Each structure stands twice: as C-alpha cells, then as structure tokens.
Structure 1
Amino acid sequence: MRLAPFALLSLCAAPAAAQTVTPLAEARLRYEHVEQDGLPQDSDAVTVRVRTGVQAAMGRFSALVQAQGNLAILPDYFDGLHGPATLRPLVADPQNIAIYRAQLRYAAPGVALTAGRQTIVLDDERFVGTAGMRNNSQSFDAVRAELSPVKGIKADVSYVWSIRTINGIDGRAARPTAINGDTVLANLGWASPIGTLTGFAYLIDEDAAAVQGYRLSSQTYGGRLAGARAIGKAKLAYQLSYARQSDYHRNPNRYAADYWLADVGFDLNGPKLGAGYEVLGADTGRNGGVALTSFQTPLSSIFKFQGWADKFTTTPADGIRDAYASAGWGWKQLGTLKAVSLTAVYHRFESDRLVRHYGDEIDLLASARIGRTTASLRYADYNADRLFTDTSKLWLQLDWSL
C-alpha cells in the first residue's frame, strides 16, 4: 500500500514529455429520507461526498492515489455506528475520510497487472462490485491480473487480503473499517457468438469473528451468459446465470445453496421493458432455515439487486425468490438535458424454502445530465407481508465529475 504514493511521486518527477498527469475529482450531494414502521422517528440525511486524487502514467506504467471524504450536513439518521438503532432507520453513510484507491498498474496488449487499494467490478456486480450507491464505497487491497492470451478470451484473477467496507474509518465490531482474509476472485470469459460466456470461482474468506462469526466465508462456483441482439431498430439483452455456494475456510456452518438468474430486456429505441427471475437459494438439508445457510453475496453492489429499499442486504435463512418487471423511457436529449430516463420496477419477494410471501416493492427513478452533473430523483416503497416492516425511501441526488 505504501508503494503507490511513492511511485506516483516518482512518475510525476519524470520529464513532462515522457509522462502524463491526470487530476481526478468528483462530488456528490444527496438528501435521503427513510420511513420505517416500528421505529419512532424517520431518518433525514443530507450528505456531501468528495473524491479527489491524481493519476500519473509513463509508458505502460501508471500510479493512482484517490481520497474520499463524506460529510453529514444534516445528520438526523442512524449511520450504523453512532446512536441507537431503535430510534431511526439505517442510512449507511457514516462520516469518513480515507484513501479510496492507491494503486500501481502495468498495462500492455493482452495483460494488465494492478497492485494496491483498488476497485474490482466483475460482470454485473452481483457477486463483486463497489457498492457505489453508498458514499463510502467498497474497495479492495489486492493484486489483480487481467489476461487476454487470444482474441475473445479473458482471464481475471485477484488475490484480496483486505476488503475496505462502506463503514469508514470509525467502523468497528460487526461493522468494521476493513475485513481481512485470503480471498480469491477468478473469472474466465469467452466472447461467444451468442454472448459472453463466463465461468467464475469466488473464494471469500472474511476472517473476522465480529462479522457474523465467520459465517460469510463461502466458496461459489458458477457460470453466466450475457448477450444482446439487434431486432430491427430495437435491442434485446439477456442474461442467464447459475452458481453453487457452500461454506469455506473458518465458516462453522455446513451448507450448500444454489443461485439462478434469468433476465431479459427490450430497448425499443425509447421505450424500455424488462423482466427477470432471480433465486438465492436456501440449504435444504439439516441446516434448512438456519441463518446464513442461504446463498450470500457479501461483496456485491447489493443496492442494484432485489429492490432499492435494501431489505435484503443479507439473504434470509429461507432464501429469496425475486420476480421482477420494469418499464421505462429514455431520451438522448431533451432541450438542454441529456441522457434523460424514467424507470419503474416492481418486485415480488418470496422465500425459496417453504415458499412464503415476504412482500412487494415498487422502485421509481428519474435522471438526467446537464454538462458534468447528473441529477436523479429516486423512490422505493417496500410493502411487507411476512418479513420485515413497511419501509419507504426517497433520494434527491446530484453527481458531478471532472
């Protein structure tokens, strides 16, 4: 970790003609309001997140350092670390200042090697991502190799010794700043005629007793097909995925659970339609119904999946079946606004084991870009049946990047 800033200074000291220096800057202003049945007060969070840094490149080598800070202007919320959890709903954006990325990179045709604190995004982020919706996004202390030995084939392998969580520098106990362990993330992809076919193996070692007593350590093996086809002026996109997960390393549970996904989307050159069915299964053996013996995805960008109300950040003991459908409309430009989009998503949640109805959720999103700023209005409403309580969330957000 200490090599990246030193190497960056060394590159910056090289002759100007031999290297390039790129400033990095981005900012986010967000208001988040949460109402949750059973809690006496609502949460209201106005936060500002700023990231700044610099990247220097010389030939095939580059070094990058980027810091991030989160300031709570209106801190009327429970951030997971401060204050009692029995008064207000969780908004997992504690105040923070930290190094987000500090990495060295070598890139040449067919090979890229990255060492240090970095972001790792694999496929659609279902298993490994940045948790980008949260202000203190997830990053990894790791060594990563991306290899393309022949056209259409890519191998992506990372060894991770520390996961930098969304809890920030004040993280502790079950919400630590970082989780150490010996984690291996491996992907092998082939660009086939019908889409990218990927095989993966994720050996997650969360070697921290305070985090669920090691019960989020798992080994997951599976495959994914993702492709798209033009149909006249329309575009069809599709995904199919299957994985099998079981306990790993110091996990005291003994379990095995399956994952399934089928997803299809139509872009009709303006109107957009989509539907899918995702299953995070539960163990059906003697551990059936025991907490954390269902399919877990602790390194994912979980906000993107199973509803924006964030009720399923940890998969329930009996698993989840998520049947969902979406509709929307997109415009490249409306007056001075660019990338304008409207989206509505409906989820129906059931358990995988014993098939009980958990609840339903409706998610709504409107977004547009003006210059370097993207504005978004987002709403989520979870209507509970047999799990959790009714919850609604509202976000007003501005994102700016250099």
Structure 2
Amino acid sequence: MLRYLLATAPIALLATNAQAADAPKKQFGDPVAFADGMTLDPILDARLRWENVDRPTASDADAVTLRVRAGAEIKDKSTGLSALFEGAGTVALGRSYDAFPYVNAASNQDRNSHAVIPDPENAAINRLQIGYQNKIFGLTVGRQRITLDDQRFVGALAWRQNEQTFDAARATVNYGPISLDGTYAKSQRTVFGNDGGARKAYNGQFIFLGAGYKHKLGQVKGFAYLLDYDKTAFSNAAARSTLDSSQTYGARFVTAPYKFGKTVSLNLTGSYAKQREYGNNTKAYQVEYLAGEGNLTMGNHMVTVGYEELGASTKAANGTWSFQTPMALLHKFNGTADMFLTTPANGLRDSYVGLSGKFPKVKALPGLNYSASYHLFGSDVKSTKYGNEFDAQIGFKTRKINWLVKYADYQAKGFGVDTKKFWLQAEYAF
C-alpha cells in the first residue's frame, strides 16, 4: 500500500495543480462549500484603535481599545435560506477615559474624571439572524444590522467599537426600478453594551418604511420612520431627553452623475423631512429637516459643497425643541468631533465644504486616500453661532491591514468647548 501511494502521489499532485490552475484562487476567509449548494462564510473583523480627546479643561482622555467580531453565515443557494451568528468583544488596553456619557452605577468604566469616549468593554451577541432571499424578495428576522440610505436616520453606528443593531424583522422587494423596504423592530441595541445600564437597549415599537424608484436620471425615495419608545425602558426622565417618540416623513433624491467630459462629473443629493411628536411624547412640536449636497468629481479627486438644517420650533410644548435622529450614524454628519450627537434645542445649521480623493499610482501605499472638510455651525432659531470645525483623514493599506489616521478640531463660539480629537486605527477583516 505504501509503495502504491508513493507511486501515485506525483500523478495526483499534477492533477490537483491542473484543477487549481483552472479554478479561481481561493483567499483566506472566502466562503467554503461543504454540501450541495451550501456554503459556510466565516466572519472576522478585528480593529485596534487609539483615540485621544484634548480639551482646555482637565477632562482630556486617551483610549486604546481592541474590538473583535467573529462568526459565520451559512447559505443554501437552492432554497435562498441563510443563518448568521456573530459575537463581538471589546477590551480596553488603557483606562484614561470615561466610557459612558452618563452616570452608570452598573459599571466601573464610568470614572467621571475624563472626557467621554463611548467604547466600553463589552462581550455580546452582535448579530443572530435567519434570512431568505430570491431575485425579488428578501426577509431577515432576528438581531441584525440595519443601514438605510446614507444612515442619516437609521444606521449601524459602525464608527464606535460596539455597533448598534436591532431586534427586528425586515422585508425588501426589488422589482425592476421599484424598491420597497419595511422594518418592524422592538429593540434598539446601543453602543453602550451589556454594562450600559438603562441604556443597554431602548425598547419600543419602531417602524421604518421606504419606497424608491430608479431612473437613468437618478433615484428618488420616500420614507417614514415611526419611533415609539417604551417609557419603562428608562430609569429616569433624563435618560429619555432626546429619545422621546417621534414620527418623521420625508423624501430623498440622488441624481445620476452629469458628465462634463471623460474625467469630470457632477451629482447632487437632497433630502427633506418633517417631524412631530408620536406615541407617548407630550412635547407637541413640528419641525423640518433640509439637506443638499453637490459633488464635483475630477479624475481621482472630488470637491463637496453642502448644507444641512435640523430645524427647531419655539412653539413646542414645554419649551423650544428640535429635529432629532436618535438612530442615525451621527459620526458621519456635522463634523467628526461629535459635538452635535444630540441636536441642540435651538436646532442646527451646518454649512460645509470638503475635498477628498485617492492616489492609485502610489504603489508603496495601496489604497492611499484622503479627505478634508470645514464646517460652520449655527442655530436654526435665535441666530446663535455655535462654532467651526476642521476635519481631515488619511487611509491606506499594508498587506491585509487597513490603516486610518484621523483628526478633528472644533473651535467653540456659542456651543460647547474647544475640542481636538485624534485617531490612529488598524483593522483587519474578511
């Protein structure tokens, strides 16, 4: 038997090499076929980050945190069924920061002596879902990640080490140029994790509805977000200050690029929405949201000019109140210093310009890219100048690790205090 194996091994090796030459080269982390039409897709996302907050007070902060997500998704191509499990864990390698922006007796990570960096240590089930997908219809049930449009109203908060997920059922329909999207959620799982106390999760009845139409000139979508928070989910009124129930109705459009030549194009994006109280909210207010952005692309670089307004009403019950987006990917909007995670009572106007691009010919740093922006902030009512902010970042890749260097500088005038933030991040994922 041993002689037979030794004699046939070269032939088997040649056959295997011939098959490998014909088949696409497999990468580490690619889906693995294990049965007829079934695959197992491993999930791994490891992120190491240093975040520094510098303020003109004694509340500076440094956080070195490591976040790891791991799991797998099983798919059956013949039936369209899938099942996904993903766990997540975050550890702090440095302790010079407050992990919560509120007093939290449930955890010793709230030290009340440093600036807040909301990346608490945590171990939890991040996603646990089953799904069905065919060419037209999709359904996902369980704890899941939900990102809608540009995430201005509903997102995953992926910038934080612990992301936001939802216990929900979501259905989608894509038929030709028409798209429909509907979600019912009963729990908003926050970035504060298992030690978040009353803010570990916000329970209630949440409905996200969207209907879109795609044309060669662009895309248009109407949406409705009905957020009815359960009062019993909070330990006190202060914990609910910006999470009172609301109903928001609006529309969004994105134009197709208008080409001026081979390398120059322009596209426009705009949104409008109205918001008022809903469910058990007694604030009795009506406010508007308005956003517009233009992007001029020239080769590998892009100039951005935009304006966003989160309106306020001086006629609201119990005092002036403003447009709130408590489920949004807030780090993406109104400056990366995160000074406006809660819209001020007098509203917010953000006028901004930006420049971004990439350098594909720099072989030493694959994927080298950059962005920089400048914001002017003010109120919607009472004409208050809040401040201004400069943001910049550089990203590149070495082997399979994505690197990010990021900086934000907020100069206060009528809101908050001068704040500078710096990040250095390395991430590996498949």
Please report the TM-score for the alignment, with normalisation by the length of structure 2. 0.86
Shift of 1:217: 1.4
Shift of 1:327: 1.4
Matched residue SS, 2:93? strand
2:344 maps to which residue? 316
Q: Runs in 1 of length 4+ with deviation above 6 angstroms?
A: none
1:170 maps to which residue? 195
2:49 maps to which residue? 30
1:98 maps to which residue? 124
Query: Residues 339 and 235 (structure 1 numbering): CA distance in 2 closer, same or farther, change over 3 Å?
Result: farther
Shift of 1:86: 4.5
Shift of 1:177: 1.1
Shift of 1:88: 1.0
Amino acid at match of 1:249: G
The equivalent position to 2:410 in structure 1, one of 382, 386, 391, is 382
Shift of 1:37: 2.9
Query: Residues 311 and 214 (structure 1 numbering): CA distance in 2 closer, same or farther, change over 3 Å?
Result: closer
Amino acid at match of 1:221: Y
Contact 1:288-1:317 within 8 A present in 2 as well: no
Shift of 1:332: 2.5
Cα deviation, 1:321-359, whole Å, max 9, x if unaligned, reads 000000133122411322211211100000001121000
Amino acid at match of 1:167: F
The equivalent position to 1:89 in structure 2, one of 106, 115, 125, is 115
- 2-side partners of 1:180 and 1:191: how far apart? 34
Name whichever of 227-236 and 135-144 sits farther off. 227-236
The equivalent position to 2:81 in structure 1, one of 53, 58, 61, is 61
Cα deviation, 1:362-383, whole Å, max 9, x if unaligned, reads 0011111233221010000110
Specify every segment of 5 or more residues in structure 2 that has no aligned partner in the other structure, as ranges.
1-32
Specify every segment of 5 or more residues in structure 1 that has no aligned partner in the other structure, as ranges.
1-13
- 2-side partners of 1:238 and 1:280: how far apart? 19
Amino acid at match of 2:268: Y
1:392 maps to which residue? 420
Query: Residues 333 and 119 (structure 1 numbering): CA distance in 2 closer, same or farther, change over 3 Å?
Result: farther
Contact 1:228-1:235 within 8 A present in 2 as well: no
Shift of 1:234: 1.8
Please report the TM-score for the alignment, with normalisation by the length of structure 1. 0.92
Amino acid at match of 2:87: A
State the Cα RMSD in Å: 1.7
2:169 maps to which residue? 143
1:16 maps to which residue? 35
1:195 maps to which residue? 218
Between Structure 1 and Structure 2, the one with more strand by share is: 1
Matched residue SS, 1:31? strand
1:46 maps to which residue? 64
1:253 aligns to 2:276 (yes or no): no
1:265 aligns to 2:295 (yes or no): yes
- 2-side partners of 1:88 and 1:359: how far apart? 23
For residues 216-365 of structure 1, the aligned pairs below 5 Å read 216-229=244-257, 230-232=259-261, 233-287=263-317, 290=320, 293-365=321-393
How many residue pairs match? The answer is 383
The equivalent position to 2:178 in structure 1, one of 124, 138, 153, is 153
2:22 maps to which residue? none
Matched residue SS, 1:362? strand
Amino acid at match of 1:30: R
Query: Residues 85 and 363 (structure 1 numbering): CA distance in 2 closer, same or farther, change over 3 Å?
Result: farther
Contact 1:159-1:183 within 8 A present in 2 as well: yes
Query: Residues 166 and 52 (structure 1 numbering): CA distance in 2 closer, same or farther, change over 3 Å?
Result: same
- 1-side partners of 2:382 and 2:318: how far apart? 10
Contact 1:364-1:380 within 8 A present in 2 as well: yes
- 1-side partners of 2:340 and 2:111: how far apart? 17
- 2-side partners of 1:168 and 1:333: how far apart? 42
- 1-side partners of 2:123 and 2:211: how far apart? 35
Matched residue SS, 1:339? coil
Contact 1:214-1:250 within 8 A present in 2 as well: no
For residues 103-114 of structure 1, the aligned pairs below 5 Å read 103-114=129-140
Matched residue SS, 2:322? coil
Name whichever of 338-347 and 255-264 sits farther off. 338-347
Matched residue SS, 1:97? strand
- 2-side partners of 1:398 and 1:162: how far apart? 31
- 1-side partners of 2:241 and 2:416: how far apart? 23
1:3 maps to which residue? none
Shift of 1:289: 5.2
Identity, in percent, stands at 38
Cα deviation, 1:251-292, whole Å, max 9, x if unaligned, reads 1211111000010111211222101000000013254953xx
Cα deviation, 1:163-212, whole Å, max 9, x if unaligned, reads 11000000113xx1111111000111110232110000000122234431
2:150 maps to which residue? 124
Amino acid at match of 1:248: Y
Contact 1:345-1:364 within 8 A present in 2 as well: yes
Contact 2:254-2:269 within 8 A present in 1 as well: yes
